Amino acid sequence: MFPPVDAPPTDDRDDTELIAAINAGDANAFEVLYHRHRDWVARLARRFTGNDADALDVLQTTFIYLFRKFPGFTLTASLRTLLWTVVRSESLALRRKRARSLALTDEHLDVPANPRGAGDVADLLVTLSPAHRYVVLMRFVDDLTIDEIAAALGIPAGTVKSRLHHAIAALRRAGI
């Protein structure tokens, strides 16, 4: 998805330490943060948008959004929780913009057609309610924890667990 680039900068600091460094004016710390999370953000954006070109646009706007938060940005959850929320929001905005000219609906957002033959799984995911589909994708595709999902969706962790339980049960009944 990305053209070859020089090796990303390495840094042993965690995201919280990098954010503190960015707030203190260390521009290199933002580059480290970007390289650490860009592939994950791009994959997530690809899933939301359904194509590489739009995913790259969302990747760019996501990190522009994050960059504009500095200085003074305070992380209140994990960075992936914040990034997931921003990618979702930016993807929805892009899809709405495209829908005006292509007459698409937001229903296509969650599970785009998969040309690699995983259509059966995608077809089954579409049968889930959006609430159940989101938690399944966030947990098993985006690799977010229960607490990160709860924070991103603004719901209690128990609700996330319940939705996961019911979604997995429905998928098992459907043959997965």
pTM over 0.75: no
Q: How many domains does one find in the chain?
A: 2
Q: Are residues 18 and 94 in the same domain?
A: yes
Q: Are residues 123 and 90 in the same domain?
A: no
Q: Are residues 121 and 88 in the same domain?
A: no
Q: Are residues 162 and 114 in the same domain?
A: yes
Q: Are residues 22 and 66 in the same domain?
A: yes
Q: Are residues 97 and 58 in the same domain?
A: yes
Q: Are residues 138 and 169 in the same domain?
A: yes
Domain limit, last residue, from 67, 86, 106 = 106
At residue 68, the pLDDT reads: 94
Domain limit, last residue, from 50, 79, 106 = 106
What is the secondary structure of the chain as a DSSP string?
A: -----SPPP-----HHHHHHHHHTT-HHHHHHHHHHHHHHHHHHHHHHHSSHHHHHHHHHHHHHHHHHT-SS---SS-HHHHHHHHHHHHHHHHHHHHHHHH---GGGSSS---TTS-HHHHHHHHHS-HHHHHHHHHHHTS---HHHHHHHHTS-HHHHHHHHHHHHHHHHHHT-
Q: Are residues 100 and 130 in the same domain?
A: no
Q: Which domain holds residue 142?
A: 110-176
Q: Are residues 95 and 117 in the same domain?
A: no
d(CA 38, CA 13): 17
Q: Are residues 73 and 26 in the same domain?
A: yes
Domain limit, last residue, from 81, 106, 131 = 106
* Mean per-residue pLDDT pooled into runs of 10, the chain (176 residues): 58 93 94 95 92 94 94 91 93 80 47 48 81 87 87 90 90 78
